[in-house]
Structures are given as C-alpha cells and as structure tokens.
Chains A and B, each alone.
Chain A
Amino acid sequence: MTRSGKLLFDGSDWNFETLSRTYDAIEEIALGELKLDIYPNQMEIISSEQMLDAYSSVGMPLMYQHWSFGKRFVFEDHLYRKGRRGLAYELVINSNPCIVYLMEENTMAMQALVTAHAAFGHNHFFKNNYLFRQWTDASAILSYMEFAKKYIAKCEERHGTAAVEAILDSAHAIMDQGVFRYRRPPRLSSERERERARERLEYEEQTFNDLWRTLPPSTSAKERAEAERDASERKKALNLPEENLLYFLEKTSLILEPWQRELLRIVRVIAQYFYPQRQTKVMNEGCATFVHHTIMNRLFEKDQVSEGTMLEVLQSHSNVVFQPGFDDPRYYGMNPYALGFAMMQDIQRICTEPTAEDRDWFPEIAGNGAWRETLLDAWTNHRDESFILQYLSPALIRKFRLFLLTDSSGDNYLEVASIHNERGYQAVRAALARSYDIGANQQDIQVVDVDLLGDRQLRLQHNVKNGVLLEETSRDATLRHIRHLWGYDVSLVGVDESGEELYECSTDEDGL
C-alpha cells in the first residue's frame, strides 16, 4: 500500500505529467548519485513515421535534400512495414540543448528507460568525452545544419537540382576521406601568409639573372635533384600530403565555383561531426546502457517504479545487450551495447569486488571502491580502441568466450590464433581494440602530389595496410567522382608499408 503511494507512474499509458515527474526522479539519481554532467534536455515526442523520416536523414533534425536519403528511407520503410525490423525507441542528437526523440508508441516504462538512456547516458557522454569536446561543436550544429539546408536549397534553385546533386554525389563518395583524423597544426593567419609570399616574390625578382637561361641543359643528376626540389616545394606550398580529400579539393580544385566549394565544405563538416560517434560506438552505447540500468534499478530500490515496470524494462534491456555467438544465425558482429555495458559493469565489479586476477591486471583501479569516478574518467578520456585496450578484463574475455581468428588471403583456411586462456588474453584484447580503431581500419588515402603548372594530375596514394587492397569497381567509380571534383585526371597508387608499389590506376585509363 505504501509502495503505490511513491510510484512515479502506474500502467503503461503515459502523459506529460508522468513523463516530467519521472524525468525529475531520474535526474535526481543521475546528477545526484552518478554525478553526470549533461546539456539541458529537449524531449520531443514523435510518431513512428517521423522516426523513419529522422532515420533517413542520418538522424539529424534538419538535413538537406538528397536522393540517397530517399533511398535509405524506402529501404527502412520497407523493412519496417514488412515487420522485419523494429524502430529504435529513441534517437538522440549531440547538440546543445540535447534533443531526445521519444516515440509515442512507447509505454511509460519504455519512456522512463529511454529518458535515462538517452537524456542522461548519451547526453553525458556527448558533453564530456574528449573526442566530442574537441571535434564537435554541440551548440552550433543545429544552426549550421539550418544554414546548410537553406544554402543547398538556394543553390538548387539557382543552379538546378542536377548540378547540385552531381557535386553532392561526388562529395558523398569521399565523405570517409573527408575528415581530419589528427588535429591540424594552427594555420598561419592569411595576412602573414601573404606577407611571406610577397617576400619570396621580391627575393626571386632581385636574384633573377637572365644569364641562367642561356646555360646548356644541366646534367641529369642535377636535373633530378632540381625536379625533386621543385616537387617538395610544391608539396609544401599545398600542405601535402593531405589526408582530408574533401578539404583539399575544396581549397585547391581548379574548376569548382565558390558555391560548389561551399557544398564540399558542408559535407566535410557533417562528416567531421559524425567522426567521433563512429569512434565511440561501444563506449557511447555502453555508457547509456549502464546509466539506464543503474538508474532504473535505483528507482526500483527507492520504490518509485513497480515490479511490472521493472520486468518490462529488464526484458528490453536484456534484448538490447544480447550477444549471440559467432555461429548463431542472429550473429551480426559484436554488439556494441553488450560489449560496452559488460565492460562498464565489469569496471564497477573490479572497483568494488576485485579478484586476485583483477588486482594483477588492473592495479590502479582494483578495489579502489570509487567505481563512479573511475567510470566518469573512462567516459571522458577514452575512445573505443583505447577503452578496450585499457579495461577489457580476462574475466570478460572468458565470459564472452572471445577468440581471435586470423585470415590470410593466401591460405584457404582460417586459423584460430588465440582463445580465452592465459596466453591469449593479451592478443585477443589487443586485436579487439584494433578492430575498433577507425583510423587504422579505414582506407588511408592521401593526396601526395599535384603539379598545378604541369598536367595538373592529382596524385593520390593508398597506404596499404596488411595487404588489404581496394575493391576495384567501387574504387574506379569513386576515382571518377574525385575526378569530377578535381577537373583533371586523378591517379591512385597503392603503396605498402615498405614503400613498394602494389598497384596503380588512374582515371584516364578508363577513358573518362
């Protein structure tokens, strides 16, 4: 009897009063007990159709128009209608204020779960993780997207949809190569740059001597040295090599109109905005799942939610963190929710009830009792790769029964390299961490040279890792897109770690 008096809500229907009462109770635990630090929340109730709409525009509330989003939409829509795929219960946007979408179909128990998950878990992560802090500007993204949408609509009006689409298609093709993976060195201010260029010009004028021209052609060795010097100077002027293809094309392409450059910039900004999300999938979801799990359990302990609610919450929680084995038909790679949540729970365990093994592996945190602080610190200072490398414990490797499989293209078999045993822990952990290193797994393609005064061919270099080459059809199609933006021929050279050339291709061979 006393119990029902304290309940935040009863039954599955929700209304704005119960939503807000529950939000307040969750906030009390999240901020008071877990010490989370969040952006203000803006909770938006949407219907399932609106959720589908949001899906197809990569989860942004505002997005410019492009056919590829329509493609995604019909794809998702079809799956949803056939009942082959459910919709997410929520969607959260890394912005300030943090926008959280709640589906109207959710029951009140789900709304509570989603509030804890998104409005506090994800929100805290967005606000505190170093990647998001350094790379994204949460308070500016919405207004930037609004600008982008309007700008592109204006371009379409002025230059035609087809022209805009052509540029966007090409830009989308190299979106993955459109991010800065390492912080740029501070650039010189434009004034100083101009000053320097002027000085150099003056120096060249002063030292000009027409006599040099009359000299007989130099020896080949000298010529080569000179050509090399030319090239290195050229590269320096263009800041080469450059890993961000979109940036390079935007700044250097000879054929683009100003509005086209602006389109590239928009695509680049969006790619950069999502880059941290791709590097922190496990941590982000793990953090949110851990937070909702902790909060819902606390609410239950405080008698603020009923047993029925808790059952429903646990049911969907265990669905979310389900990790099928590799030979299960449902297996579709590691489930980031499962891995992240398990690791964070494991950290909590190591902090409070460490085993001898944990003391051995994690001397700094084992038994320190301060699991909240340890987790807050991990959430702030890690991305997936470093987080796994730092915190994946042998206990967890055993629990997931992880094993490492090597696959060499020369062999017709796969080999089990390590399993969850004493000798294998390190190798499994390191390999799992590596598999989450986006920077290492992504194809590393850079601009290495371009002779603006000569044939203007754009030279790209693919730094081949572990002998993994590019799929040829899509590679050639992508190169054609780059050529479209560059205006002249583009060549791509694959170079392995030792500097040996593995392949070379260019757009002029395709006869394009």
Chain B
Amino acid sequence: MPNFIDRRLNPKDKSIGNRQRFLKRAREELKRAVKEQVKSIGIADVGAGQSVSMPTRGVGEPTFQPAGDTGDRERVLPGNREFSPGDRLRKPQGGGGGRGGAGTGEDEDDFQFSLSQDEVLDLFFEDLELPDMVKLSLKETLTFKPRRAGYAVTGSPTNINVAKTMRNSHGRRIALRRPKQAELDALAAEIAELEQKPKPTPKDKERLGMLQAELEWLDRRRRRVPFIDTVDIRFNRFEQQPLPNASAVMFCLMDVSASMGEREKDLAKRFFVLLHMFLRRRYERIEIVFIRHTDEAREVDEETFFYSTQSGGTMVSTALEEMLRVIEARYPASEWNIYAAQASDGDNISGDSERCVTLLSTVMKYCQYYAYVEIIDERESEIFARTDNGTSLWRAYRTVDGDWPNFQMTRIAKPGDIYPVFRKLFAKQPQTLRQPRK
C-alpha cells in the first residue's frame, strides 16, 4: 500500500510568478505586438483575453548549438521502402537541419500565447501611466442596494445575527462563570433527598443548610449573569451600495475628412478604446454608436468608422445633430448614461463652430459628460500648449468650457497625452456625485 496524496486542492498557479517574470522580460516585444493587434480589432474587443503572437527576440536562451550546414553527419531513420546503399537524395531545403536533426531547438520562432485582460491593459496603456482605474468615480449613481458589511451593536431586531450573538453570550457566560442548569439541578436533587429523610441527623441538617445557601447563591448569580445580555447582541450591518445605472451608451464622433490621416485616426481610436474601457469597468452593458462626419454625418459601423475614407468638407454640427437624433430615437436619457467623445483635427467650415456651441448646450443636458479631443501635430503642440489660440472649433468650444463641469476639451499630440484627459475628466466629478448616506 503506497502513500496516496491528493494534491488537487493545493493552490494552483504555482507558475504564475514565473509567468509574470516572463512577461516583464518580454515587455517591449509584447507591447509592440499588442499595439499592432489593437489597431486591427474592434474597440469592444480590446482587453478580452487575447492571443498574442510574438517573436522570441529578447527572450531567447542562447546555448552552444551546432550549425546546421557544417560538418559531416549521419542519421539513422526508420521506414525505408525503396532505398538501396549508394542512393543519393537531394537535400531538403534549408540545409541539412531537416526534420530528423538534432531535435534540440524548440520550434518557437513565432510563439503564441494568451494574455489576460489586465495584462493587455497594462501593456497597452503603459505609456499612459495608467493608475488604478478602480478608484475612478463616475457620476450619477441612481439606485442603492444593501450590501452586508460586518456587524453592528445596534440595529433592528430582524437583523439580529443569532450565531454571532450566541457565540458572544457563550463566551461571556464562561468568563463570568454563570452556574449551569445541571449544577442547580444536582443541588436541588440533593436538597430534596435530604428533606425526604424521615429522621435527619444534625449532620444532615447542617448539610441541608449549606446546600440551601449555596443554591440561593447560585440562583442569585444566575440572575446577575443573564443567559443573553444586551452586550452580546450583534446585528447584521448593511451598507447602502450605490449602483450605477447598468447601461451606458458611448458616442464616438469623428471627423473623417481628408485632413484626418492614419496617425490622427490611430490616436482617436486609442482615445475611444480608453473611454470604452473605463466605462466597461462600471457598466454592465455598453453600446457604442459611431458617428462620422464630413459635411454630412452618418451613423456607421466600426469598420467603416475607422477605415473607410470619405471626401468632402467639414461640418461638425452635422455630427451633433445626428447624435441628438440617435439619442432621441434610441437612448432616452432617463434610461441610459450617455457619454460622448468627439475627435477632430479642429477644422471646421466657417460659421459652423458657433452653431456647434449652440447644439452643444442641448447635448450637454443629456450627457454624463462630453469629451472633445483635438488631435494636433506634434510640432504644433509646443505652440498651442498655453494659448487659447487654435482652430476655429477649439476657439468656439473654448468660450463654453467651464459652463458645464462635465465638459472637457483637450489637445493631444501623442499617446501619452490621452490619459491625462481622463484624469481630468474623472477627477472633476466628485461634487456632482450624489453621495450615499453614511
């Protein structure tokens, strides 16, 4: 009979530490691979356990290996059918390495594996110095749900936690030496027995008196140390947990006129991805509406949104109008948390920017917030850094910036600029938060 040990319940993931070390090691490569991939997949898919394929550069483990194309070798192979000694065969492509070769090299030129969502987020937003997103507070909590939160000494009788209360009471009874029922019973029985005796001796009488005194004392003590004292009682404590409205819709507005190039679109996509990811942390259901515009706006699917070009002028107000139309048709503000993000290079047809501002005041009534990012050239970022100067749309929005706490506008020139936008957006919100009661 051997020793059988059941290890199945041992902690799993013994190699998680090694895995993390490997990822750290392969960081640069992975970052590149993830970025490549993010470009090619949908916004909502970013972050779901992705399979990443990466070359093994940087994580190679060199050893002395024989060079495949040098020297003389011999090889014994099974399964000869038609060869006779002296037959010559053409060498397989790629030198003498072949399949029957040394067999030492693992085939891992391009080696694939899956990353968890957090790992992808980490890699994707590393250059954004993403802090702990969980701490973010989104505004507009609509409902509260009670949640168990430990015990309290006060509360309503329906919430008494019997197990906890009885445990406390038991401990106190032991500590204060509350006489047990059995002891009392034993005394009473003995007293009864003595009293029954027809001819009590003086010794019996003495004993009887003693016992009665003791019984009385025990009785008093029992009354002083109650079975359940008010100090024992514990109540289940509930906290009101704010529940955000479970569904949100995110509007992506983007100018797709010719002035928006590959770089601009890539930055815009990152911005949208980030927003989507923030929202996903909070909402159970998120829908994304893509509205693109030139001098007319249309709701399109994601593919078209990012990858097809359209010629025409630029009229931003059309996008806002389209958004209002969609909200009215499908997303009543009472049921949906509405978020909007607009990306543009700032060009607009003259006179339209003012109209945008007017429209914006309507839009802002519905939106949880509205973020406007203007994607500028990296060279321009210096010039524009501190001035109110800028494109026509920027100047127009500038006039209303500050009218609403949940309106944000910013210029971004590189990926690193994106995150701070969000920090501002979310950090500004607390005063509008409806705080739950303590």
Contacts and interface: CB of A to CB of B under 8 A. Distances in A.
B114 interface: yes
B59 A67 contact: yes
Interface string B76-120: 111111011111111100001001101100101001111000000
A40 B111 CA distance: 40
A445 B63 CA distance: 12
Given A435-B75, A471-B65, A24 B83 contact: no
Contacts of B106: 75
A67 B18 contact: yes
B14 A409 contact: no
A272 B61 CA distance: 19
Interface stretch (B21-29, B162-170, B400-408): B21-29
B75 A45 contact: no
A209 interface: no
B138 to A, nearest CB: 35
A41 B5 CA distance: 11
Query: Considering residues B20, B60, B80, B83, which has the most beta carbons from chain A within 10 angstroms of its beta carbon?
Result: B80
B129 interface: no
Interface stretch (A181-189, A358-366, A374-382, A424-432): A424-432
Given A41-B3, A406-B73, A474 B62 contact: yes
Interface stretch (A298-306, A345-353, A415-423): A415-423
B15 interface: yes
Contacts of A423: 85
Nearest to B24: A67
Nearest to B67: A471
Interface residues of A, number: 101
Contacts of B85: 416-419, 421, 423-424
Nearest to A420: B80
A328 interface: yes
Contacts of A196: none
B13 interface: yes
Nearest to A335: B78
A435 B108 CA distance: 24
A212 interface: no
Interface in A59-107: 65-71, 73-75, 77-78, 81, 97, 101, 104
Nearest to B11: A50
B76 A432 contact: yes
B74 interface: yes
B99 A49 contact: no
A199 interface: no
A403 B2 contact: no
Contact residues of A: prevailing secondary structure: mixed
B6 interface: yes
B91 A414 contact: yes
B8 interface: yes
Given A44-B5, A474-B63, A56 B18 contact: yes
Nearest to B23: A70
Contact of A69 (B18, B60, B88): B18
Interface in B46-68: 51, 59-68
A53 B13 contact: yes
Contacts of A328: 79
A43 B4 contact: yes
A331 to B, nearest CB: 6
Nearest to A245: B64
A50 B12 contact: yes
Interface stretch (A4-12, A170-178, A260-268, A287-295): A170-178
Contacts of B96: 407, 409, 414
B108 A470 contact: no
B63 A469 contact: no
Contacts of B2: 20, 23, 40-43, 119
A248 B386 CA distance: 64
Given A70-B15, A419-B83, A471-B67, A333 B62 contact: no
A405 B79 CA distance: 12
Contacts of A176: 63-64
A470 B1 contact: no
A443 B64 contact: yes
B74 A405 contact: yes
A34 interface: no
A66 B18 contact: yes
A401 interface: yes
The 3 closest A-B pairs by CB, nearest first: A325-B79, A70-B22, A468-B71
8 contacts: A23-B1, A50-B7, A165-B21, A405-B76, A406-B74, A465-B71, A468-B71, A474-B65
Given A43-B3, A334-B78, A468-B66, 13 more contacts: A70-B17, A70-B23, A74-B113, A77-B113, A173-B61, A325-B77, A326-B77, A326-B100, A403-B80, A406-B72, A416-B85, A416-B86, A468-B70
